[in-house]
Chains A and B, each alone.
Chain A
């Protein structure tokens, strides 16, 4: 399935999306396919503070972490988070972490069995 972002319209500056997928166990950056795995279930971590620290540890030093840093530094960019149903429960943890970085997030549900995701 090929995803595209709708034009936000208006006369403001163009907003550029970065596409990331979340399935409850890993974050995948598109279109490169760079992946960060989470061996711990985020919902089992008792506090948001500890959750964010764990996510930071996993993401730091990866291509995904570098991309998040770039998005956070650029007000003209935001993230479209494609969420599989297996990631629904822990979506607040991920959006909360991205929010902590000052990143705007638009969550979009996708089918659990969807393969061959393309973005443009």
Chain B
């Protein structure tokens, strides 16, 4: 901007206008550099590979990986269900409630969750007895999963994966909006260990109740395949 110069009268007063101009220019240049740097950092290029969808091995069962609140937790209900339902096949209807009471005394538990049964004795619309058997899954108080920074060789997640066999288990990731990043890292680690994985945008609230009767156990562990055409 043009500014008319004041005539110097030689009285000894220091004129700082030129200095102010220089300082203003410097501040402007620095602001430009800061804005440019921020924009450049925001546009750093990352690469992400969308993995190929593979079919789960025949006869393998679903193990859920709960990716919520920025952490991952492995939820393998196979062992607890087997422990809780051991001997249930020979139980008469009238004995079911007592069986559930006794079964719950075993209290199967793992790193993150504890499992129990609930039985509800009710009648159908035609007055016939229809008991429903549910699996109740509760999260241990104060036990959190692995964050993305903890998903290293010594993490609980990898230790639990090492106990699973990719031929008999596939991983269903239940992912909430806060956990996309940790999910992606956990999935990569699982794929390198040979696991088939699936993604589901699901928030799981605990305690979580799942119906086991009327084929519910099969739905939990071996859900109907939703594989895409390209997998067939």
Contacts and interface: CB of A to CB of B under 8 A. Distances in A.
B55 to A, nearest CB: 11
B229 interface: yes
Interface stretch (B16-24, B39-47, B115-123, B142-150): B39-47
B180 A109 contact: yes
B177 A85 contact: yes
B10 interface: no
B228 A78 contact: yes
Interface size class of A (residues with CB under 8 A): 20 to 34
B52 A9 contact: yes
B45 A106 contact: no
Contacts of A15: 230
Given A109-B175, A112-B177, A116-B43, A6 B52 contact: yes
A106 B226 CA distance: 11
Interface in A36-58: none
A8 B183 contact: no
Contacts, number: 72
Q: DSSP class of B's interface residues: helix, strand, loop or mixed?
A: mixed
A83 B46 CA distance: 17
A4 interface: yes
Contact of B201 (A6, A91, A106): A91
Contacts of B50: 3-6, 17, 80, 106, 108
B199 interface: yes
Interface in B201-231: 201, 228-230
Contacts of B42: 115
Of all A-B residue pairs in the complex, the 6 with the closest CB atoms, nearest first, are A85-B177, A88-B201, A104-B228, A104-B229, A6-B52, A8-B52
13 contacts: A1-B46, A1-B48, A3-B49, A4-B48, A5-B50, A7-B52, A85-B176, A85-B201, A106-B50, A107-B199, A109-B175, A109-B199, A112-B177
Interface of B: 42-43, 45-53, 175-178, 180-181, 183-184, 199, 201, 228-230
